[in-house]
Amino acid sequence: MDLHDAATPPRRRRADARRSIHAILNAARVVLGERPDASMEDIAAAAGVTRQTVYAHFPSRDALVVALIEAAAAEYLAALDAASLDTAPPADALARFLDAGWRFLRRHPLLLNPAAPGAPRPNRNALSDVVPPRLEQLIRRGQGTGDFRASLPAAWLADAIIGLQQTAAAQVAAGRATTQEAEALCLESTLRLCGGEARR
């Protein structure tokens, strides 16, 4: 029974709604990650709710995908916040930045493969407005301390490194590297790009 009668206290109703929304978003993350063209019915089934409950919270499949991407972005940013990017030694902070990205990509495989048939084409501004500036700030700090070479602009390096991680993720998606291999290649390449290796 998904609908409450008028006697249900509002607080309990809100808590139930939050639980439903959480279950639906989590199911959408998993199901769409495996099958980007999965239907609202598939997602409802995986969440253990009715199709009507899904539609009560998300009026359309697109709305659900948008909410999923927003939730994913919030998670990613929280992970970056927790990574001490502003205080860790710059090369360590760079590795932590990449780790947060890999965790994000593992949890949200759908976002790895936006060209999949039937996949949503997310407007990734929620991420692209916020993530690159954090990396840029970290690189600028490392250039200031002399850990990284300063001859390339930090803003460019930030975009280049994010692109590198996407290239590495695509190698995994194409079966050309294991996740572990891709992570190692990406880290070593990122350090080379920043000139963090020249000092070893």
Residues contributing to the site for a second copy (CB under 8 A): 115, 121, 151-153, 155-157, 159-160, 163-164, 166-168, 170-171, 176-177, 185, 188-189, 192-193, 195, 197-198
Residues 6+ apart with CB under 8 A from 174: none
Considering beta carbons, is residue 21 or 177 the nearer one to a second copy? 177
**Shortest distance (Å) from residue 163 CB to a second copy:** 4
**Shortest distance (Å) from residue 5 CB to a second copy:** 47
**Shortest distance (Å) from residue 38 CB to a second copy:** 21
Please answer whether residues 146 and 69 qualify as being in contact, where contact means their C-beta atoms are separated by less than 8 angstroms. Answer: no
**Shortest distance (Å) from residue 140 CB to a second copy:** 16
Distance separating alpha carbons of residues 104 and 31, to the nearest angstrom: 16
Considering beta carbons, is residue 78 or 198 the nearer one to a second copy? 198
Which residue from 162, 18, 176 is spatially nearest to 76, judged by alpha carbons? Answer: 162
**Shortest distance (Å) from residue 185 CB to a second copy:** 5
Considering beta carbons, is residue 54 or 161 the nearer one to a second copy? 161
Considering beta carbons, is residue 62 or 188 the nearer one to a second copy? 188
The one-letter amino acid code at 187 reads L
Considering beta carbons, is residue 21 or 164 the nearer one to a second copy? 164
Query: DSSP labels for 31-60?
Result: HHHH-TT--HHHHHHHHTS-HHHHHHH-SS
Residues 6+ apart with CB under 8 A from 19: none
Considering beta carbons, is residue 19 or 199 the nearer one to a second copy? 199
Please answer whether residues 173 and 105 qualify as being in contact, where contact means their C-beta atoms are separated by less than 8 angstroms. Answer: no
Runs of H (alpha helix) within 35-149? 40-47, 51-57, 61-81, 90-107, 109-112, 125-128, 131-145
**Shortest distance (Å) from residue 164 CB to a second copy:** 6
